Chains A and B, each alone.
Chain A
Amino acid sequence: MTNAHDDTKNTMTTETTERSDLSATTLRDNAEVAEALGRRYEAGFVTDIETEYLPPGLSEDIVRQLSALKKEPEWMTEWRLKAYRHWLTMPTPDWAKLNLKPIDYQSISYYAAPKSGPKSLDEVDPKLLETYDKLGVPLHERAKLAGVAVDAVFDSVSVGTTFRKELAEAGVIFCSMSEAIREHPELVQKYLGSVVPTGDNFFAALNSAVFSDGSFVFIPKGVRCPMELSTYFRINAINTGQFERTLIVCEDDAYVSYLEGCTAPMRDENQLHAAVVELVALERAQIKYSTVQNWYPGDENGVGGIYNFVTKRGDCRGNDSKISWTQVETGSAITWKYPSCVLRGDRSVGEFYSVALTHHRQQADTGTKMIHIGKGTKSKIVSKGISAGRSSNSYRGLVKVEKGAEGARNYTQCDSLLIGKKCGAHTFPYMEVKNPTAIVEHEATTSKISDDQLFYCRSRGIGEEDAVSMIVDGFCKQVFRELPMEFAVEAKKLLEVSLEGAVG
């Protein structure tokens, strides 16, 4: 273990050092190493600001109160109530390969917001900005430097949105969901719940009833969004669920690339996160959605961590439209997530690129669904699972070709990498084909990092942990390539930190 530790220090220091400065001397700076050792989960800090809660529990009253707090119109309240009533009739799903204790939905507080509502970035609590700062969210000036427009969701209320003006000039609407409900009710009413209906599944119904905030993006006809849009989610308060709702609509010939990052502080309790993301792509529109999910995974013994139950679905409504999901999942105690594409338009394209890493006692059951309905639709799935420690990592995917999907084409590749003897890596692909002109292909492999590869690296003086992260990086390259550049850097580092202690 002593030997492995030296390598560990290096990797962790990398994480805390400025990204531009990775020189060897800095890496070996003892003070920094000591600091880094105290910070396993780097984003695990709690911001101490006053928070406004709804009392724990869920009832029609709570839903009404929540809606009232958010000053929502009547139709929205009704929409929530309808979802809530439906949710009451639904059983908790148990089909995923997950081992979890039943969740007590009555012990969760469904709303938490910083007490004083901020009106502009300047009014935002400096402590809050500091939090984002630590997370590396490029908000405020940093946002301009990074050229990224951020809609940061901090415990349910959107606190600051940057680059609004520049986006508005292009005709792009990028705001919080609460604001969209107030300012653009016609758009919200038209599209909200049209991809993921309120009663779609247990967690989507729960989300529809109690979602607190989220992002709304609308790209009008023919507009190519001038910058990459980004939201950073963060769960801060104790015993609150984070239920955000994201809706992205791309009209004809429009394009947007959207980045989503997630982090949560360290706590012993398990926190619930049930989000819904809906994407709508009209004629020839393209949406690229990238996620780096780094929720707190719990400690080595599986205490604490986020329960991440997310419904993400994109609807390629228009002909020649395209939706592409890229995800890097390293956090959460439990991940239950299947970003999907409904390929309705003729010649529409769906893509799913995923890296899911589990360590210690993390459990992930994740994958995608590609539903081919239109003619000549194409989908591609590349999934890379990495399991270490005592974790369990499953790919679960569905490729469905409906009768009318003349000439549909799918290619799926699922690779799993095992690090250690106590972990599990599983693949459950479903293929349902009803059209004789369709071609559906699936390939999967499971292996471990070969001794030859390790030996090769070690013989060239590369430490074991570094060698492992090099090999893992190579294993994931196909997916990282799809990420926007700055995310790719972050993803790579996340893997290194998450894998620390997995070897030796």
Chain B
Amino acid sequence: MSEAQRTPFVESLLEAAAQAQLPGSGIGWLDAARRENLDAFVAGGLPDTRMEAWKYTALRALGQRRFAAGDAQASTRAIEMDRYALAGIDGPSLVFVNGVFRQDLSRADNLPAGLTLQPLSQVLKGDAEPLRFALSRHYRDGGDVFARLNAVLAGDGVVLRVAANAKIAQTVRLLFVGAPADAALASHVRQVIELGEGAELSLVEQHVATDSHQNLGTQVTDIVLRQGAKLRHVTLQDASDASTLVRHDSLQLDAEAHAAMYALELGGSLVRHDLHAVLAGDKSRLDTGGVFALRGRQHVDTQMSIRHQALNTTSESVWRGVADERSRGVFRGAIVVAEGADGSDASLSSKNLLLSAQAEIDTKPELEIYADEVKAAHGATVGQLDERSLFYLRSRGIPLAEARAMLTAAFCRAVFESLPDEGLREHINERLMAQLPSA
């Protein structure tokens, strides 16, 4: 790597890597994986916008920033847990503050039968062998720079397993709290989630902030659904509006597995979410849905790819975006139907509202089809609220601003209508109403 690429960002993270005393060090394969990813990170640096995956998200400004390695007070900070409570969701939970596991705030005792829920730091102290496959991944694609970083520096995270045929009734909650420290921090969280054959789980992941902070968070998640397993995964991203958050999810579905993945993106200054799903088993099904509602100078970039590579697989994706003020929303939704993946049925819709002359929306639905027994369709729009609907509401005495807010919320809500959990739906609605431009 040339010296020119050794930006303050790269330097500060290299320093962090040199100092890091990560759990699991000494395990040969883990050390090797961390080293190789570090080499790749050093060689590749941060991508620029000439790289297709980062075309609409410039990292130049981030490259000039430095991040401290860790938060010394992370394990003692007082956190008002009530602020982040979700009505009706009081099952098992793991809580992390600035990337550090907090036993005192979590609820991981008396777990229902079949559920394993542990912080990664703890698992790495014992038998790490079951994690070998997930944690020895090398991220070869230059666009996966934050996944590389995460592989090098993640010392904590979530290990969640559901035994075959165990159906977990309670929703499991993962809470990531960001808090301001003396300097901007970088924290890295790694999650490994596996549902055994016929297992069922509902999972809520929350990203919140105690106060405004400029931290960087990276998160890498591997999810595997064995045959017939069912997962519902809802991410509520409400991070600090000055923070940078990069999430990288990989999802594998075996035969007849069914995953429903939802994301609500409200917070963050620079947010990037990669979701790469592979429908690897026959008759597997994936539903994805997401909303970003942005204002200020927020920049949120969602990159989704769904690969159909087995027979009779289905995917349905519904994404909505709202960009106000000077914000920018980016969406890429790629559907790939591999050769021989006959009977694939894929649909994707990306609809967006552009509310301000300074805002921008870039959307790119893609189809890459290599089989002929398929149904694949996508649609994308960028526009405004329907004038006639507005007129209708106003003719019934609803002021313009309120009518706009109502219609915008309804536009977004469509994504979450299929969520069975009413409390969660209500929470989402409230947060949306608070974030969306109103009167």
Query: A361 to nearest B CB, angstroms?
Result: 14
B379 A444 Cβ-Cβ under 8 A:
yes
Q: Which of B52, B365, B366, B384 contacts A436 (CB 8 A)?
A: B384
A16 at the interface (CB under 8 A from B): no
A337 at the interface (CB under 8 A from B): no
Question: Known contacts A403-B357, A436-B355, A436-B359; is A446 also within 8 Å of B381 by CB?
Answer: no
A198 at the interface (CB under 8 A from B): no
Q: Which of B352, B362, B377 contacts A446 (CB 8 A)?
A: B377
A323 at the interface (CB under 8 A from B): no
Q: With A and B bound together, what is the CA distance between A399 and B384 in angstroms? A: 17
Q: With A and B bound together, what is the CA distance between A433 and B328 in angstroms? A: 10
A119 at the interface (CB under 8 A from B): no
Query: B205 to nearest A CB, angstroms?
Result: 29
Q: Which of B352, B375, B383 contacts A447 (CB 8 A)?
A: B375
Q: Which residues of B sit under 8 angstroms from A429, Cβ to Cβ?
A: 364-366, 380
B166 at the interface (CB under 8 A from A): no
Q: Which residues of A sit under 8 angstroms from B56, Cβ to Cβ?
A: 432
Q: Which of A420, A435, A442 contacts B372 (CB 8 A)?
A: A420
A75 at the interface (CB under 8 A from B): no
Q: Which of A438, A445, A446 contacts B383 (CB 8 A)?
A: A438
Q: Which residues of A sit under 8 angstroms from B164, Cβ to Cβ?
A: none
Q: Which residues of A sit under 8 angstroms from B123, Cβ to Cβ?
A: none
B276 at the interface (CB under 8 A from A): no
Q: With A and B bound together, what is the CA distance between A433 and B362 in angstroms? A: 6
A308 at the interface (CB under 8 A from B): no
Query: A116 to nearest B CB, angstroms?
Result: 49
A37 at the interface (CB under 8 A from B): no
A422 B384 Cβ-Cβ under 8 A:
no
Q: Which residues of B sit under 8 angstroms from A435, Cβ to Cβ?
A: 354, 357
Q: With A and B bound together, what is the CA distance between A132 and B334 in angstroms? A: 45
Q: Which residues of B sit under 8 angstroms from A425, Cβ to Cβ?
A: 367, 369
Q: Which residue from chain B places its CB closest to the CB of A409 in the assembled complex?
A: B383
A428 B381 Cβ-Cβ under 8 A:
no
CB within 8 Å of A: which of B29-59? 52, 56
CB within 8 Å of B: which of A425-465? 425-448
Q: Which residues of B sit under 8 angstroms from A446, Cβ to Cβ?
A: 367, 369, 374-377
Q: With A and B bound together, what is the CA distance between A440 and B354 in angstroms? A: 11
CB within 8 Å of A: which of B43-96? 52, 56
Q: Which residue from chain A places its CB closest to the CB of B346 in the assembled complex?
A: A446
A433 B367 Cβ-Cβ under 8 A:
no
CB within 8 Å of A: which of B310-367? 339-340, 352, 354-357, 359-367
A356 at the interface (CB under 8 A from B): no
B377 A445 Cβ-Cβ under 8 A:
yes
Main secondary structure of the interface of B (DSSP, over half): strand
B360 A433 Cβ-Cβ under 8 A:
yes
B368 A424 Cβ-Cβ under 8 A:
yes
CB within 8 Å of A: which of B123-175? none
Query: B264 to nearest A CB, angstroms?
Result: 22
B372 A427 Cβ-Cβ under 8 A:
no
Q: Which residue from chain B places its CB closest to the CB of A413 in the assembled complex?
A: B379
Q: Which residues of A sit under 8 angstroms from B369, Cβ to Cβ?
A: 416, 418, 424-426, 446
A421 B371 Cβ-Cβ under 8 A:
yes
Question: Known contacts A420-B372, A433-B354, A436-B356; is A441 also within 8 Å of B381 by CB?
Answer: yes
Question: Known contacts A421-B340, A431-B362, A432-B362; is A439 also within 8 Å of B368 by CB?
Answer: no
Q: Which residue from chain A places its CB closest to the CB of B329 in the assembled complex?
A: A433
Q: Which residues of B sit under 8 angstroms from A370, Cβ to Cβ?
A: none
Q: Which of A95, A418, A426, A443 contacts B379 (CB 8 A)?
A: A443
B374 A448 Cβ-Cβ under 8 A:
yes
Q: Which residues of A sit under 8 angstroms from B376, Cβ to Cβ?
A: 445-447
Question: Known contacts A438-B382, A440-B382, A441-B381; is A428 also within 8 Å of B373 by CB?
Answer: no
Query: A46 to nearest B CB, angstroms?
Result: 36
A426 B382 Cβ-Cβ under 8 A:
no
Question: Known contacts A416-B367, A424-B368; is A439 also within 8 Å of B383 by CB?
Answer: yes
Q: Which residue from chain B places its CB closest to the CB of A442 in the assembled complex?
A: B380
Query: A323 to nearest B CB, angstroms?
Result: 23
B232 at the interface (CB under 8 A from A): no
Q: Which residues of A sit under 8 angstroms from B363, Cβ to Cβ?
A: 431
Q: With A and B bound together, what is the CA distance between A445 and B366 in angstroms? A: 11
B378 at the interface (CB under 8 A from A): yes
Query: B87 to nearest A CB, angstroms?
Result: 35
Q: With A and B bound together, what is the CA distance between A442 and B365 in angstroms? A: 9
B392 at the interface (CB under 8 A from A): no
Q: Which of B339, B357, B364, B366 contacts A426 (CB 8 A)?
A: B366
Q: With A and B bound together, what is the CA distance between A421 and B384 in angstroms? A: 41
A173 at the interface (CB under 8 A from B): no
B391 at the interface (CB under 8 A from A): no
A419 at the interface (CB under 8 A from B): yes
Query: A194 to nearest B CB, angstroms?
Result: 27
Q: With A and B bound together, what is the CA distance between A442 and B232 in angstroms? A: 30
Q: Which residues of B sit under 8 angstroms from A443, Cβ to Cβ?
A: 377-379
Q: With A and B bound together, what is the CA distance between A403 and B356 in angstroms? A: 10
Query: A454 to nearest B CB, angstroms?
Result: 13
A428 B366 Cβ-Cβ under 8 A:
yes
Query: A407 to nearest B CB, angstroms?
Result: 10
B52 A95 Cβ-Cβ under 8 A:
yes
B339 A421 Cβ-Cβ under 8 A:
yes
Query: B402 to nearest A CB, angstroms?
Result: 19
Q: Which residue from chain A places its CB closest to the CB of B52 in the assembled complex?
A: A95
Query: A406 to nearest B CB, angstroms?
Result: 9
Question: Known contacts A424-B370, A426-B369, A431-B363; is A442 also within 8 Å of B357 by CB?
Answer: no
Q: Which residue from chain A places its CB closest to the CB of B375 in the assembled complex?
A: A447
B364 A438 Cβ-Cβ under 8 A:
no
A444 B372 Cβ-Cβ under 8 A:
no
Q: Which residue from chain B places its CB closest to the CB of A436 in the assembled complex?
A: B354
Q: With A and B bound together, what is the CA distance between A283 and B15 in angstroms? A: 61
Q: With A and B bound together, what is the CA distance between A444 and B375 in angstroms? A: 11
Q: Which residues of B sit under 8 angstroms from A444, Cβ to Cβ?
A: 365, 367, 377-379
Q: Which residues of B sit under 8 angstroms from A422, Cβ to Cβ?
A: 339
Q: With A and B bound together, what is the CA distance between A403 and B370 in angstroms? A: 38
Q: Which residues of A sit under 8 angstroms from B366, Cβ to Cβ?
A: 426-429
Q: With A and B bound together, what is the CA distance between A401 and B377 in angstroms? A: 24
A419 B52 Cβ-Cβ under 8 A:
no
B373 A448 Cβ-Cβ under 8 A:
yes
Question: Known contacts A433-B361, A439-B382, A442-B380; is A427 also within 8 Å of B367 by CB?
Answer: yes
Q: With A and B bound together, what is the CA distance between A447 and B360 in angstroms? A: 32
Question: Known contacts A418-B372, A432-B360, A434-B360; is A439 also within 8 Å of B384 by CB?
Answer: yes
Question: Known contacts A428-B364, A431-B364, A434-B360; is A419 also within 8 Å of B354 by CB?
Answer: no
Q: Which residues of B sit under 8 angstroms from A447, Cβ to Cβ?
A: 374-376
A426 B368 Cβ-Cβ under 8 A:
yes
Q: Which residues of A sit under 8 angstroms from B373, Cβ to Cβ?
A: 448
Q: With A and B bound together, what is the CA distance between A435 and B358 in angstroms? A: 8
A419 B383 Cβ-Cβ under 8 A:
no
Q: Which residues of A sit under 8 angstroms from B371, Cβ to Cβ?
A: 418, 421
Q: Which residue from chain B places its CB closest to the CB of A420 in the assembled complex?
A: B372
Q: With A and B bound together, what is the CA distance between A428 and B361 in angstroms? A: 16
Q: With A and B bound together, what is the CA distance between A95 and B55 in angstroms? A: 12
Q: With A and B bound together, what is the CA distance between A441 and B368 in angstroms? A: 20
Q: With A and B bound together, what is the CA distance between A466 and B352 in angstroms? A: 43
Q: Which residues of B contact A (CB under 8 A)?
A: 52, 56, 339-340, 352, 354-357, 359-384
The 18 sampled A-B contact pairs (Cβ below 8 Å) are A403-B357, A419-B372, A426-B368, A427-B365, A427-B368, A428-B364, A429-B380, A430-B364, A432-B362, A435-B354, A436-B359, A437-B384, A442-B378, A442-B381, A445-B377, A446-B369, A446-B374, A447-B375
Closest 10 CB pairs of A and B: A418-B372, A439-B383, A448-B372, A433-B382, A427-B367, A446-B376, A442-B380, A436-B354, A440-B382, A445-B377
Q: Which residues of A contact B (CB under 8 A)?
A: 95, 401, 403, 416, 418-448
Given contacts A433-B362, A440-B381, A447-B374, 14 further A-B pairs with CB under 8 A are: A419-B372, A421-B339, A421-B372, A425-B369, A431-B382, A432-B56, A433-B352, A433-B382, A434-B360, A435-B357, A438-B382, A441-B380, A445-B376, A445-B377
